[in-house]
């Protein structure tokens, strides 16, 4: 019951297009992690319309509470400036970080030119990896990224 106002706000802002960007920009810089997370959850629904907020999302890659939402948002927005940061996370220790980075890179897909041999090698390693019963070769996001090469 207490989340209903938040859900309603998410619904309205996600359908406001560019008119809601200033509100989302404030939320992305909020000190409260939950507020930042909610804003990051809305951004993928706005897609390319929210591309101007890319520079406000990039710093959230360093926040352990929002980094996975941030990776997804950067991919959905088509923020090609995020590629070096995402590629670096292909070597992360945490499986979720590697999978999120691969998913975001897959969403960026054809917008990028894959000339960095280390990045391609990192992806092939991720595709062969099997952790906790998840075979990343079959993992939807990693496969999507591979099809762009």
- What is the pLDDT tens value at each position of the chain, 149 positions in all? 455 666 777 766 777 777 788 888 999 999 999 889 989 998 988 888 889 999 999 999 999 999 999 999 999 998 989 988 998 898 888 888 988 888 888 888 756 655 554 555 555 555 555 555 555 544 445 545 554 54
What letters, b where the CB count within 10 A reaches 16 and e where it falls short, cover 46-61? beebbbebbebbeebb
What are the φ and ψ backbone dihedral angles of 84, each rounded to 5 degrees?
Answer: -60, -35
Distance of CA 64 to the CA centre of its chain: 13
State the helix-helix crossing angle for 21-28 and 33-46, rounded to 10 degrees.
140
């Amino acid at each position: 019951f207490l989340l209903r106002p938040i859900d309603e706000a998410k619904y309205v802002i996600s359908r406001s297009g560019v008119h809601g960007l200033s509100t989302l920009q404030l939320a992305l810089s909020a000190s409260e992690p939950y507020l930042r997370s909610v804003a990051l959850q809305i951004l993928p629904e706005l897609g390319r319309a929210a591309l101007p907020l890319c520079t406000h999302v990039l710093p959230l890659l360093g926040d352990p509470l929002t980094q996975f939402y941030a990776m997804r948002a950067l991919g959905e927005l088509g923020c090609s400036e995020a590629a070096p940061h995402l590629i670096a996370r292909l070597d992360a220790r945490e499986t979720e970080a590697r999978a999120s980075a691969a998913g975001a890179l897959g969403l960026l897909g054809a917008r990028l030119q894959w000339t960095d041999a280390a990045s391609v090698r990192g992806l092939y390693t991720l595709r062969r990896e099997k952790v906790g019963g998840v075979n990343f070769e079959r993992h939807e996001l990693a496969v999507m990224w591979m099809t762009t090469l």
